[in-house]
Chains A and B, each alone.
Chain A
């Protein structure tokens, strides 16, 4: 309901609410464009490669088959795969999924925790040079990843952590500039009175932070966690550099390798699309699970 309707008891305008109609039209259009490629991916995932080349713009699956999904989960034999024009490479789907989960979960926990702590120091604590240091942290945003990835790679190699999940996790484990920036903006919005009340009760800064501020900031923290999880889940270049061996391979890298294993007539589109859909499902689930808490509670916190 629009605010106008809520706030007043004026009679509604006669006739349909053109504003809402226009709004829904625009939203529907945007949703359509957003979702159509996914329909295309699904349609491709359920097609047979060889048949698809002959009829590429058919909006329906061409020669319907579950082959794409079966290849992704490693359930298709090489003969079956070759018959459908799919990649015959093996893919240890569950292993890579597990690796992705471990990597993303660990990174999220560490990054959110440490970034929130640092953000609190930048937003709420008072110390000399605070804003200068914050700006320096911020400039890390502008550094092209490739600049730091090679030296970091050499560092990880020298630490003996190549081809290990720890090596993948380490650089993002402590912070990213975005996380600090994001949490700081939200901490800035918390009223000082809350902290002052806590301090009057004898709590130190640490107790105040973990006991009062954090519970109040569940929504931004949750939002950041979900975003961090999704971002680290979809990271490709760094895990590719550091985790090529099977035991350290994450899902995105596996998909990339899967895609480059071109069989006879070209990339295994059905398999690749199936793999993409499957790897997007876990993060979508997480978002749906936490989504409501995410934004509904992101209310005006503290003082009213």
Chain B
């Protein structure tokens, strides 16, 4: 176990990581680090940082999509706070994320565990991943068609079973859950693959020891699998939550924000402001708020799950 304790740097180490190095060593590591980070840093600065700063600047102007703009201070932000559609979009998006991530994570863990326990088949893993290989827009179209009220297969099936047909996209109550579940379908394989990879890093010793102690499957899952899965789960949750907040394609193809704003998610609202109202300033302000929110969320998630350390250490 002593080796394991040195494997993951504890949080202590992040502040004292430099301890124990001579000045020459520090310099050398810094030089190497610079070389290693340089290409990625170029990409980051040129294609992420600069455009983001530029967009941040826009949020303080009344920049038009096709023209120019003047500095207007915090006017866009004041407008944002007073905008009922903005708050609506936050509520709608949070509802979407809750359903989407909730269902997707539980199912993904289940699938990953099942894949590990029941079969080594790569083919089945590939099949589970298949929905991810289809373009977003096509996924939306296919499901729109299958869930169509009068001619969609799902409703025909429901009718045959004797249940009332459901207007999936047209009813305010079912619209967001429908879109959430469509995206669960899409990303389940991807998420479970990531978790599956994480499951592989848990040494078999632990399971064997637990089995010898007489633990049941479920007990082993809760006491061995879940705790040791934490770093990978943290990674997966941060990625999926942040991605989930940015839902756009499905809405753009199916409901376009309706019915009565029930699916007007934040990203779609931003898109409308930029591309339909040509109001790049306001769109940038909305996006800036979204960035801050998501960064805070990501930071919180990482802290809460103490993802830098693992119980293996």
Counting from the closest, the 5 A-B pairs by CB-CB distance are A174-B43, A142-B294, A151-B51, A118-B40, A56-B151
Q: Which residues of A contact B81 (CB under 8 A)?
A: none
Distance in angstroms between the alpha carbons of A288 and B89 in the assembled complex: 40
Contact of A143 with B291 in the complex, beta carbons under 8 Å: yes
Chain B residues with Cβ under 8 A from A304's Cβ?
203
Q: Which residues of A contact B35 (CB under 8 A)?
A: 206
Assess whether B54 is interfacial by the CB under 8 Å rule.
yes
Q: Are A140 and B32 in contact (CB under 8 A)?
A: no
Q: Check A288–B123 contact: CB distance below 8 A.
A: yes
Residue B132 interfacial (CB < 8 Å): yes
Separation in Å of the B58 CB from the closest CB of chain A? 9
Could you tell me which residues of chain A, from 271 to 304, have a CB within 8 Å of some CB in chain B?
A: 272-273, 276, 279-280, 283-284, 287-288, 291-292, 294-296, 298-300, 302-304
Output the residue of B51, B136, B290 with the most chain A CB within 10 A: B51
Task: Report the separation of the CA atoms of residues A22 and B255 in the bound assembly, to the nearest whole angstrom.
Answer: 37
Chain A residues with CB under 8 A of B141: 259, 272
Are B274 and A146 in contact, CB atoms less than 8 angstroms apart? Answer: yes
A20, A180, A256: the one within 8 Å of B40 (CB): A180
Which residues of chain B in 111-136 are interfacial with respect to chain A, using CB atoms and an 8 Å cutoff? Answer: 111, 114-115, 117-118, 120, 122-136
Stretch at the interface among A33-41, A69-77, A86-94: A33-41
Q: Is A255 an interface residue (CB 8 A)?
A: yes
- List residues of chain B with CB within 8 A of the CB of A201: none
Nearest Cβ on chain B to A303's Cβ, whole angstroms: 5
Q: Does A263 contact B (CB under 8 A)?
A: no
* CB closest residue in chain B, given A1: B117
Task: Say yes or no: B298 contacts A26, CB within 8 Å.
Answer: no
Asked whether B8 lies within 8 Å of A189 as measured between CB atoms, the reply is yes
A136 to chain B, nearest CB (A): 8
A3-B220, A57-B153, A121-B36 in contact; A34/B131 too (CB < 8 A)? yes
| Given A139-B295, A144-B267, A284-B126, A303 contacting B4 (CB threshold 8 A) | yes
Q: A27-B114, A117-B40, A252-B135 given. 12 additional CB < 8 A pairs?
A: A20-B118, A56-B148, A117-B37, A139-B298, A140-B52, A146-B271, A147-B291, A148-B55, A174-B42, A177-B48, A188-B231, A189-B201
CB pair A223–B32 under 8 Å, yes or no, is: no
| Contact A7-B40, Cβ < 8 Å, known A2-B217, A178-B239, A236-B136 | no
The CA of A35 and the CA of B196, in the complex, are separated in Å by 20
B86 to chain A, nearest CB (A): 14
Min CB–CB distance A268 → chain B (angstroms): 12
Q: Range of interface residues on chain A?
A: 35 or more
> Which chain B residue has the least Cβ–Cβ distance from A303?
B3
Kindly identify, within residues 219 to 272 of chain A, every residue whose CB is under 8 Å from any CB belonging to chain B: 219-220, 223, 227, 230, 233-234, 236, 252, 255-256, 259, 269, 272
Q: Is A141 an interface residue (CB 8 A)?
A: yes
CA distance A239 to B28 in the complex (A): 41
The size of the chain B interface, using a CB distance under 8 A, is: 113
- Interface readout for B200-223 with A: 1 if CB under 8 Å, 0 if not? 111110011011100001001000
Q: Is the CB of A127 within 8 A of B43?
A: no
- Please, how many angstroms separate the alpha-carbon atoms of A137 and B52 in the complex? 12
Contacts of A35 in B (CB 8 A): 127, 130
Contact B44–A140 (Cβ < 8 Å) = yes
Residues on A with C-beta less than 8 A from B111 are 27, 30
Partner of A118, one of B7, B41, B197: B41
Q: Across the interface, do B51 and A191 meet the contact criterion of CB distance under 8 Å?
A: no
| Distance of A296 Cα from B26 Cα, bound (Å) | 37
| Contact assessment for A57 and B151 in the assembled complex, using a CB-CB cutoff below 8 Å | yes
Q: Are B114 and A23 in contact (CB under 8 A)?
A: yes
Query: Are B238 and A284 in touch, CB under 8 angstroms?
Result: no
Distance between A110 CB and nearest chain B CB, rounded to angstroms? 8
B44 touches A175 (CB 8 A): yes
* Interface contact A255-B135, CB-CB below 8 Å: yes
Say yes or no: A300 contacts B203, CB within 8 Å. Answer: yes
CA separation between A303 and B150, bound complex, in Å? 60
Point out the residues of chain A lying under 8 angstroms from B217, CB to CB. Answer: 2, 4, 19
Mark out the residues of chain B between 60 and 90 whose CB falls within 8 Å of any chain A CB in the assembled complex: none
Tell me whether B142 is interfacial, beta carbon within 8 Å: yes
Partner of B52 from A37, A41, A148 at Cβ < 8 Å: A148
Given known contacts A8-B212, A118-B36, A151-B54, is B287 in contact with A146 (CB within 8 Å)? yes
Q: Say if the beta carbon of A192 comes within 8 Å of chain B.
A: yes
Instruction: Judge whether A12 is part of the interface by a CB distance below 8 angstroms.
Output: no
B residues 167-218 in Cβ contact with A at 8 Å: 185, 188-190, 193, 196-197, 200-204, 207-208, 210-212, 217
